[in-house]
Amino acid sequence: MPDENLKKTPLNAVHRALGGKMVDFGGWDMPVQYTAGVIEEHMRCRTACGLFDVSHMGEIWVEGPGAIDFVNRLTTNDVRSLFDGQAHYSALTNDNGGVVDDLLVYRFAEERLLLVVNAATTDKDWEWISSHHSDADDCALTNASGDFCQIAVQGPNAVGILQKLTETELAPIKYYHFTEGWVDEVESIISRTGYTGEDGFEIYAAPEYAEQLWNKLLETGNYGAPNGILPCGLAARNTLRLESAMSLYGHELGDDITTFEANLGWITKLGKAARFTGRDKLAAQKEAGLQRKLVGFEMTEPGIARDGFDVYINGEKCGVVTSGSPAPFLKKNIGLAFVPSRFANTGQEIKIDVRGKHLNAQIVPTPFYKRQK
């Protein structure tokens, strides 16, 4: 039986019917895996198609003449560079340049933006954004997190499967662009985004249509066939994003980790007109040089590095693993870690303390996996 204190997505009953192994994820009752298992779910997404329930994500509307200026003042990327129908990856930063959360910013119109934030930090983000908002900002905020289901269809076959359910031409929609249309006759936001390193779409719709959309995608994707679509849980979502070296809040990102340290300089627009929160601290950090950097590594002897394991270089403890796991597609044991900047070089030998044994690893370029286009 589900814990009554946990939040549930509109697909909770469906996950249970499909044999999902349910866990507490940031206060949400979510499937960590289904009966096929993590490796099969991961591989199916890489080679065919995976289906993910991401309805636990938070959504915040910012609407009004001051919407762009307000969001530009709170986030690192340049909202003024967005066009209607375009989204970008960004970060909310605190006064010290640390990351309050990473998020997507969608521009529907000049006076209408949608912020999509992480599930576990939705309440924190809402409080942060609201605390920086006043009537002078000339825009209204709406926490619309309960107004959406969100379903991700990802992998080489994702476009073909989804195209059978919509009259919207999907091919012209570029990566990090979106449109409003109909999927299986359900009014939807159709966004070419994802968290797997694969091509695919994330579909936003009213929560009462979640089961209809999910079941229709399973049917259309030939769920049950050897190369058919497969529901994927949180564990596969994590290994997929790790192979693609995508950051996870609470691991590679946090209130005490800056965007530059996390290799997110590309979304940190110090030169934009808006002096966003933490901008001066980030500029000073860039000028002075980073003390630590996020790097990718692979184990060079048998052993699995896990989150929180210590990193040693030349016999001294000098870093920590932020994410570590076997990589099912690559058939290697990989991870991300913070190390002193002077050691953050491809080929650098490091050791990971795996339950008292110092095992050999090597810093390698990221992403570990990059799909063939």
Cβ 293 vs Cβ 301: under 8 Å = no
Domain 291-364 falls in which CATH fold? Elongation Factor Tu (Ef-tu); domain 3 (2.40.30)
| Residues 6 or more apart whose Cβ sits within 8 Å of residue 283 | 270
Distances from the Cα of 328 to the Cαs of 70, 226, 237, 358, 362, in angstroms?
42, 18, 12, 23, 19
Q: How far is CA 56 from CA 26, 141, 174, 224, 243, in A?
A: 10, 19, 25, 26, 23
User: What whole-number distance in Å separates Cα of residue 273 and Cα of residue 72?
Assistant: 9
**What pLDDT was estimated at residue 373?**
76
pTM: 0.97
Strand partners of residue 93: 99
CATH code matching the domain that covers 58-146, chosen among 3.40.50.450, 3.60.15.10, 3.40.50.2300, 3.30.70.1400: 3.30.70.1400
Average pLDDT over residues 190-210: 98
| Mean pLDDT of all residues in 165-186 | 98
Range 150-159 average pLDDT: 98
- pLDDT at position 103, please? 98
Q: Which among 81, 139, 134, 132 has a CA at the least distance from the CA of 107? A: 81
Q: Which fold has domain 12-55+148-243?
A: Gyrase A; domain 2 (3.30.1360)
**Residue 3: band (very low, low, confident or very high) from pLDDT cuts 50, 70, 90:** confident
Domain parsing of the chain, residue ranges: 12-55+148-243, 58-146, 291-364
Average pLDDT over residues 165-188: 98
Neighbours of 256 (CB within 10 A): 11
* In contact, 191 and 181? CB cutoff 8 Å: no
For 218-254, the pLDDT digits (tens) are 999 999 999 999 999 999 999 999 999 999 999 999 9
- Check if the beta carbon of residue 240 is closer than 8 Å to that of residue 248: no
Give the separation between CA 221 and CA 164, rounded to whole angstroms. Answer: 10
pLDDT at 1 over 70: no
pLDDT in tens, 78-130: 999 999 999 999 999 999 999 999 999 999 999 999 999 999 999 999 999 99
pLDDT in tens, 265-274: 999 999 999 9
Question: What pLDDT is attached to residue 309?
Answer: 98
3-class DSSP state of 351: strand
